[in-house]
């Protein structure tokens, strides 16, 4: 056995030595990408005076970031009050626009204009709704200096007057609660001066319709109980529908996100109108006021309904065009506010 083992060792010695496998060369470390910083110049839109020069602004900075930097130098102009644009005649840039995606070189000029004092949209909505609610109740309880002194703090003998007050109050309480707990408002603020225009319209029309509905000489609808019931059913149906749409739109957005999505019907039957209309919240809102008009048979209510329909049609058409522009697969069957008509 020892002889055989010796022979085996000799044979192994005669074989050529196996070459060791070559080791892979270490990869050269990647060179860090060189960040190209921007130089941002902010110029007054009216006077063309240079207000601020920002050096070494990161390319991923947003317009909101630039507004925040500008705010540090000019504390009175907080970001919501600033309007920045690339050209004096161009549109205002959005807060989420990124610097490196804008059509500018490494040296960018932004034109600044002051939007004036701002209010949050939530505050505006609350003021718009609280005013009509309070004003209508003042007429309902017939406070002094509204009607003849003999009618001060008296109550109407017509039950439709009390029903109208309940429906009107319900509508605006619903809107206040939706503003507080349902709506996710994408727009941040609006100019303070606009609240006087918005509230002036809602408050004055509420006073106008409340004056006639609660007037001691108010006459009930021509077709009596049947007309009142028909108007009430329309009103309640559309109020539920309007609330259902607002909940569906809320669930479509995640908190803090500005990403837009196509709204689709849910399991709630009141949302199925989404198959035919882009803005069913406006459809139901107009329907509610049509029901209130039928129920009260009041000319000021009819006028308010007509004006509201015209305004909401403008809003709905704008939103419909926005959907068509942003989404190539947007349902073509949908209309703006009225199925197959408008």
- Regarding whether 130 and 109 lie in a shared domain, the answer is no
Query: Does 3 score more than 60 pLDDT?
Result: no
- Regarding whether 149 and 193 lie in a shared domain, the answer is yes
pLDDT at 191: 86
Local confidence band at 28 (pLDDT 50, 70, 90 cut-offs): low
Query: Does 259 score more than 50 pLDDT?
Result: yes
State the CATH number of the domain containing residue 94.
3.10.20.90
Last residue of a domain, one of 86, 116, 146: 116
Cβ–Cβ < 8 Å for 104, 66: no
- Dihedral angle over CA of 177, 182, 183, 188, nearest 10: 80
Local confidence band at 55 (pLDDT 50, 70, 90 cut-offs): confident
Tokens at 270, concatenated: 């009141």
Note whether residue 200 is domain-resident.
Answer: yes
- Regarding whether 228 and 334 lie in a shared domain, the answer is yes
Note whether residue 163 is domain-resident.
Answer: yes
Rounded CA-CA distance 187/198 in Å is: 16
Give Cα 238 distance to the centre of its chain. Answer: 21
- Regarding whether 331 and 225 lie in a shared domain, the answer is yes
- Regarding whether 233 and 214 lie in a shared domain, the answer is no
- Regarding whether 288 and 189 lie in a shared domain, the answer is no
Note whether residue 181 is domain-resident.
Answer: yes
Note whether residue 13 is domain-resident.
Answer: no
Query: 48-52, 252-256, 315-319, 324-328: which range is least confident on average?
Result: 252-256
Note whether residue 290 is domain-resident.
Answer: yes
Note whether residue 19 is domain-resident.
Answer: no
- Regarding whether 226 and 215 lie in a shared domain, the answer is no
Average pLDDT over residues 272-296: 97
Q: Residue 314 sits in which domain range?
A: 221-341
- Regarding whether 239 and 187 lie in a shared domain, the answer is no
Rounded CA-CA distance 296/286 in Å is: 15
Query: 44-58, 206-220, 301-315: which range is least confident on average?
Result: 44-58
169-212 pLDDT, tens digit each: 999 999 999 999 998 876 678 888 888 988 999 999 999 999 99
Give Cα 123 distance to the centre of its chain. Answer: 14
Query: Which is more confidently placed, 273 or 9?
Result: 273
- Regarding whether 235 and 334 lie in a shared domain, the answer is yes
Query: Does 1 score more than 50 pLDDT?
Result: no
**Structural domain tally of the chain?**
3
| Three-state helix/strand/coil letters over the chain | CHHHHHHHHHHHHHCCCCCCCCCCCCCCCCCCCCCCCEEEEEEECCCCCEEEEEEEECCCCEHHHHHHHHHHHCCCCCHHHEEEECCCCCCCCCCCCEHHHCCCCCEEEEEEEECCCEEEHHHHHHHHHHHHHHHHHHHHCCCCCCCCHHHCCCCCCCHHHHHHHHHHHHHHHHHHHHHHHCCCCCCCEEEHHHHHHHHHHHHHHHHHHHHHHCCCCCCCCCCHHHHHHHHHHHHHHHHHHHHHHHHHHHHHCCCCCCCCCCCCCCCCHHHHHHHCECCHHHHHHHHHHHHHHHHHCCHHHHHHHHHHHHHHHHHHHHHHHHHHHHCCCCCCCCECCCCCCC
Cβ–Cβ < 8 Å for 271, 246: no
Last residue of a domain, one of 71, 86, 116: 116
Last residue of a domain, one of 194, 219, 244: 219
Average pLDDT over residues 66-74: 93
Local confidence band at 104 (pLDDT 50, 70, 90 cut-offs): confident
pLDDT at 321: 95
Query: 20-24, 175-179, 243-247, 338-342: which range is least confident on average?
Result: 20-24
- Regarding whether 298 and 256 lie in a shared domain, the answer is yes
Note whether residue 252 is domain-resident.
Answer: yes
- Regarding whether 47 and 93 lie in a shared domain, the answer is yes
Local confidence band at 26 (pLDDT 50, 70, 90 cut-offs): low
Give Cα 28 distance to the centre of its chain. Answer: 51
Query: Which is more confidently placed, 198 or 30?
Result: 198
Average pLDDT over residues 152-171: 96
Average pLDDT over residues 249-274: 88
Average pLDDT over residues 78-99: 90
- Regarding whether 130 and 95 lie in a shared domain, the answer is no
Rounded CA-CA distance 108/110 in Å is: 7
For the chain, give the mean pLDDT.
89
Note whether residue 245 is domain-resident.
Answer: yes
Alpha-carbon distances, residue 179 vs 121, 123, 124, 129, 228 (angstroms): 9, 9, 10, 10, 29
């Amino acid at each position: 056995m020892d002889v055989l083992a010796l022979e085996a060792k000799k044979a192994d010695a005669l074989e050529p030595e196996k070459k060791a496998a070559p080791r892979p060369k270490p990869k050269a470390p990647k060179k860090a990408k060189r960040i190209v910083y921007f130089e941002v110049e902010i110029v007054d839109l009216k006077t063309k005076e240079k207000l601020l020069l920002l050096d070494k602004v990161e390319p991923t900075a947003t317009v909101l970031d630039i507004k925040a930097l500008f705010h540090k130098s000019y504390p009175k102009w907080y970001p919501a009050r600033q309007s920045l644009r690339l050209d004096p005649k161009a549109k205002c840039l959005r807060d989420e626009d990124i610097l490196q995606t804008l059509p500018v070189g490494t040296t960018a000029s932004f034109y600044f204009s002051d939007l004036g004092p701002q209010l949050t949209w939530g505050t505006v909505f609350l003021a718009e709704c609280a005013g009509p609610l309070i004003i209508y109740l003042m007429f309902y309880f017939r406070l002094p200096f509204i009607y003849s002194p003999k009618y001060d703090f008296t109550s109407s003998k017509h039950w439709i007057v009390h029903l109208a007050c309940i429906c009107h109050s319900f509508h605006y309480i619903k809107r206040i609660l939706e503003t507080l707990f349902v709506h996710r408002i994408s727009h941040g603020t609006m100019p303070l001066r606009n609240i006087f225009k918005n509230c002036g319209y809602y408050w004055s029309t509420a006073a106008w319709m409340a004056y006639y509905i609660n007037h001691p000489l108010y006459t009930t609808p021509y077709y009596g109980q049947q007309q009142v019931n028909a108007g009430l059913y329309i009103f309640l149906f559309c109020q539920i529908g309007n609330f259902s749409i607002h909940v569906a739109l809320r669930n479509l957005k995640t908190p803090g996100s500005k990403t837009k999505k196509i709204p689709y019907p849910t399991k709630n039957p009141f949302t199925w109108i989404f198959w035919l209309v882009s803005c069913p919240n406006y459809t139901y809102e107009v329907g509610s006021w049509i029901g209130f008009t039928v129920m009260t048979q009041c000319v000021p209510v009819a006028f308010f309904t007509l004006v509201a329909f015209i305004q909401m049609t403008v809003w709905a058409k704008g939103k419909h065009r926005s959907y068509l522009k942003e989404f190539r697969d947007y349902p073509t069957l949908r209309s703006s506010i009225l199925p197959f008509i408008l």
